[in-house]
Each structure stands twice: as C-alpha cells, then as structure tokens.
Chains A and B, each alone.
Chain A
Amino acid sequence: MAAKREQEPITMDTFLSGIWRENPVFVMLLGMCPVLAVTNTTENALAMGLATTFVLVCSTGLVSILRDFIPKEVRIASYIVIIASFVTVVDYAIQAISLDIYNALGAFIQLIVANCMILGRAEAFASRKPLGKTLIDALGVGAGFTLALLCLGTVRELLGAGEILGIQVFADSFEPWVIMLLPPGGFFVLAGWLLLFAWIKERQNKRAAAGKEATADGR
C-alpha cells in the first residue's frame, strides 16, 4: 500500500491541497502563535510567511532525502535539529536583508522552530514520500500559510491603521480601529476568516449533496 502511494504521480493537487483543502491555518489550525502575533501589518505577515516557507521547504526536503537513513527512534530529535538549523539560517538571513523587518518580527523568527506545522509536515509527509513530491507539498503548504497570514495582515493593517503596506487607503477622516493591531484584533480577524471558510465549505457540501440527490432522482 505504502509503495503504491509513493508511486502516485505529482499533480497540481499536490500543490493546491496545501493552499485550500489542507490549508494549515484555516483548515488545520496549526502554527497559531505567529498567525496571531505577527500579522499586525501586511509586511510582517509576508516576511513571516516567506521565512516559514523557506524553513518548511528546506527542512522537509532534507528529511525526505534522509528518510531511509534516520532510525525511527531518533526521528523527532533529528527533525528538530534540522528545522532549528534552517531557522538559524533564516534568522541571520533576515538580519542581513533588513534590520527593520528583523526588529518587527522579534523573537517570532526563532520561534518558527516550534511551529507544529513544520514538524507535522516532516513527520506526516516528508518522512514517507520522495523528494520531488515533498518539495511540491511543502511549497503548497508554505504558500497556504503565507496566504493565510496575508489575509489576516491586510485586514488588520487596513482597519487598524487605514493603510496597506504602509500606503494610506482610507481618507484622513477615517478613525483607525487600534484594537485590530492589538492581540484581540488577531483573534477577531481570525474568527472572521474561519467563519468565511466554514460557510464556503458548508455551501459546497450542500451543493454536492443536492447534486447527488438530483442524480439519484433522475435514475
């Protein structure tokens, strides 16, 4: 069975499932700490999303390459060492690219190491699948995570400061909802997006059920 699964071809769905059907934030509710903490601006959300994607792709790629070499008794310890190394790499890289972004993200870059989404992907996917499929899956999940962070970041920055990416959107008469930039704002906006996702999913399910009924009646 496992061997059969490994032979499954890489399709567009391998990439897209991480963005929509298995979105780590909106569907699986993983990695909530950075999702709530660093999405107060679009720029921070994008930087955090890209940093996490980099760590996810590199570490799951390496786990996939070493999957036959790592004994299962020490697999979690090995994954953590691999993830921590890439987090250190990204930590220094961001410092070298922009000190402003580094200061804005603060300790949350180092905390990527504790993001359960990455460990989850390494354990559930990368340790069982070949490199190509793992990389495509990691890119999809990373894109889904970045997209979710951006969804929160843009809404919070727009309502909390009247800006997107530092560019003023609303007129001066707009009174910013400061609470949106504060931690409670993260919860409110996340709840809003989760409601939207649940509603879309329910509507899809209802349509599918109605379609099935119609086919059955037709017979």
Chain B
Amino acid sequence: MSEAAQSQQVAPTPTSSLRLIGTLGVIALFAGLLVVSVVEWTRPIIAENHERALQQAVFDVIPGATQRRDFVLTDEGPVPKEDAQERGPIIHAGYTEDGALAGVALEASGRGYADVIRILYGYDPSCACIVGMSVLESQETPGLGDRIETDPDFLGSIEGLDASLNEDGTGLKHGIRTVDPGEREDPGDIDGITGATVSAEAIGDMLHRSADERLPQLQGHWSELERNE
C-alpha cells in the first residue's frame, strides 16, 4: 500500500469539544445581541401600531366617536384605566367631538370554525342597542367564514340590534342569536350567512354571552362614563 493511500485512510482528527462549544457560544451570543436589539428597537413602533389599530376599531364600532377613554370594569363599576388598582375587563368609551358619550366598545371572543374569533362591538346606552361590530382576530376560511367581516346583510342586522336588559337588570331581555338568512323574528335575531353558518353563529353566541354578562355590570354606572374629562 502506498504512503498516500495510507494517509487517506487515517480518520480526520475530531475537533476539540472546547472549540465546538466556543463556536456555538460565539454564534449564540451574536444571535442573542441581534434579537435583543431588534426587539428593543421595534417595541415602541409595534405598541403604537396596536394602539392605532385598536383606536380605529373602536371608532369603527361606535358611529360618531372621535375620542376614546379606557376604563377597567371592577366590582364597583368602571374605573379610568390610569387610576385602576385592580385588573379586570377593559371597556373603551367613545365620545363625540363635543365630549358626549357616543357608546362603549367591548371585546368578546369565542370558538369559530377554524380558531378563536376575537371581536369588538359597540353598544349605545341611549338606544340600548348594539351599534357596530368589528373582527379583531380571525382565522376563518377565506371566501366562506371570513364573510362575517364583509357580508352586508349580516353586519346590517347587527347594527341596531336590541340589547336592552330585562326588568331586574340581570341579563338581556331578548337573547342574541344568529338565525337562518331572512328568518329574523325576535329583536335579538341576527341574519346568518349561507356558507358561513358556524362562524356567523359563533358571533351571535359571543355577542350574547358578553352583552348578557357585561351590560348588567355597567347598569347604573353610565353617568360615570358620561363625559370625557
């Protein structure tokens, strides 16, 4: 066997463990620095984007609102978010240009067809009705389930939907539910969407659950939300 062939058969010397650990350590350090810098740099911009999206959604679901103030719903009623000591559901009060209460926006969520759907809906105490709905997050099927965001009949039947409370003020007078298209009978009925039955019913269901729980909590506290000071 020639010398060259012999040297070819010798296995290459393995790299020392120290070098392997060192290499990975240096790369991980670089990766960590890069990620931390980018996260810190983009954090305020992302927070601003979320804030802007929420602001837009609140104004979309409360017609006429141009100003907004956030409250935390506690056992004693709504407390301005900046003064709140305890945690609780957030409600967004919308005010007109001259500072009068135009309505409140509440968040609701529930299981849709594909995943959890999160919505924001507006409630106007002067008509005791729901005045608008906007989908914040949804993975519903494009072209079918996602029509909950665009179907004019469905969205139209939510605007002005009765959400008045019963005589004891403990829950809704008329339950909110989604019915087949064109078959609305009760004041709390929403027109469904053909081809998006599950998603449309999920919206009716989450509106009912949220309004039935939150509106009695707000009952008697509307004067505290009245003006934007």
B48-68 contacts to A, CB under 8 A, are 49-50, 53
Which of B19, B28, B42 is in CB contact (< 8 Å) with A95? B42
B34 interfacial by beta-carbon distance below 8 Å: yes
Q: How far is the CA of A66 from the CA of B49 in the complex (A)?
A: 37
- Please give, as numbers and ranges, the residues of chain B lying within 8 Å of A182 by CB-CB distance: 141-143
* Contact for B24 among A81, A84, A96, A160, CB less than 8 A: A81
Complex CA gap A93/B19 in Å reads 34
Nearest residue (CB) in B for A91 is B38
Q: Please state if B23 and A161 are interface contacts (CB–CB under 8 Å).
A: no
A178, B144: Cβ atoms closer than 8 Å: yes
* Further pairs besides A92-B46, A103-B137, A178-B144: 17, Cβ < 8 Å: A66-B27, A71-B15, A71-B19, A73-B15, A74-B23, A74-B24, A82-B27, A85-B34, A85-B35, A88-B38, A88-B39, A95-B46, A99-B49, A160-B143, A178-B143, A181-B142, A182-B141
B139 interfacial by beta-carbon distance below 8 Å: yes
Task: Report Cα–Cα, A95/B143, bound state, in Å.
Answer: 25
- Interface flag for A174 (CB, 8 Å): no
B14 CB-CB contact with A under 8 Å: yes
Closest B residue to A100 using CB positions: B53
Chain A neighbourhood of B34, CB < 8 A: 85-86, 89
The reply to whether B46 and A89 form a contact with Cβ atoms under 8 Å apart is no
A192: min CB distance to chain B, Å:
19
| Cα distance, A40 to B20, chains bound together (Å) | 43
Smallest Cβ-Cβ distance to B143: which chain A residue? A178
* CA distance in complex: A171, B27 (Å): 55
Among the listed B27, B39, B53, B141, which residue makes an inter-chain contact with A99, where contact means beta carbons less than 8 Å apart?
Answer: B53
B58 to chain A, nearest CB (A): 15
A81 touches B139 (CB 8 A): no
Least distance between B148 CB and chain A CB atoms (Å): 15
Interface centre among B14, B27, B35, by most A CB within 10 Å? B27
Bound CA–CA A211/B14 (angstroms): 53
Chain A interface, number of residues (Cβ within 8 angstroms): 31
* Range class of the B interface residue count: 20 to 34
B31 lies within 8 A of chain A by Cβ: yes
A14 at the interface (CB under 8 A from B): no
User: Once the chains are docked, how many angstroms separate the CA of A24 from the CA of B198?
Assistant: 38
Q: What total count of A-B pairs have CB within 8 Å?
A: 69
Q: Which of B27, B50, B53, B139 contacts A78 (CB 8 A)?
A: B27
B11 at the A interface (CB under 8 A): no
List, in ascending order, chain A residues with CB within 8 A of B42's CB.
92-93, 95-96
Asked whether A161 lies within 8 Å of B24 as measured between CB atoms, the reply is: no
Is residue B10 within 8 Å, beta carbon to beta carbon, of the partner chain?
no
A77 at the interface (CB under 8 A from B): yes
Contacts of A77 in B (CB 8 A): 24
Name the CB-closest residue of A to B16.
A71
CA distance A170 to B19 in the complex (A): 62
Q: How far is the CB of B147 from chain A (nearest CB, A)?
A: 10
Q: Is B1 an interface residue (CB 8 A)?
A: no
Q: Are A71 and B23 in contact (CB under 8 A)?
A: yes
Quick one: which of B23, B24, B45 has the most chain A CB within 10 A?
A: B23
Task: Kindly list the 4 A-B residue pairs having the minimum CB-CB distance in the complex, ordered from nearest.
Answer: A178-B143, A85-B31, A181-B142, A71-B15
Q: How far is the CA of A95 from the CA of B42 in the complex (A)?
A: 8
A86 and chain B: residue at smallest CB distance: B34
- Distance, CA A84 to CA B139, complexed state (A): 25
What are 22 A-B residue pairs whose CB atoms fall within 8 Å in the complex?
A40-B142, A69-B23, A71-B23, A73-B15, A74-B24, A78-B24, A78-B27, A81-B27, A85-B34, A89-B35, A92-B38, A92-B42, A92-B46, A93-B42, A95-B46, A95-B49, A96-B46, A96-B49, A99-B49, A99-B50, A178-B142, A182-B142
The answer for the CA separation of A101 and B205 in the assembled complex, in Å, is 28
A88 to B142, CA, bound (A): 27
Whether A82 contacts B31 by the Cβ 8 Å rule is yes
In the assembled complex, how far is the CB of residue A86 from the closest CB belonging to chain B, in whole angstroms? 8
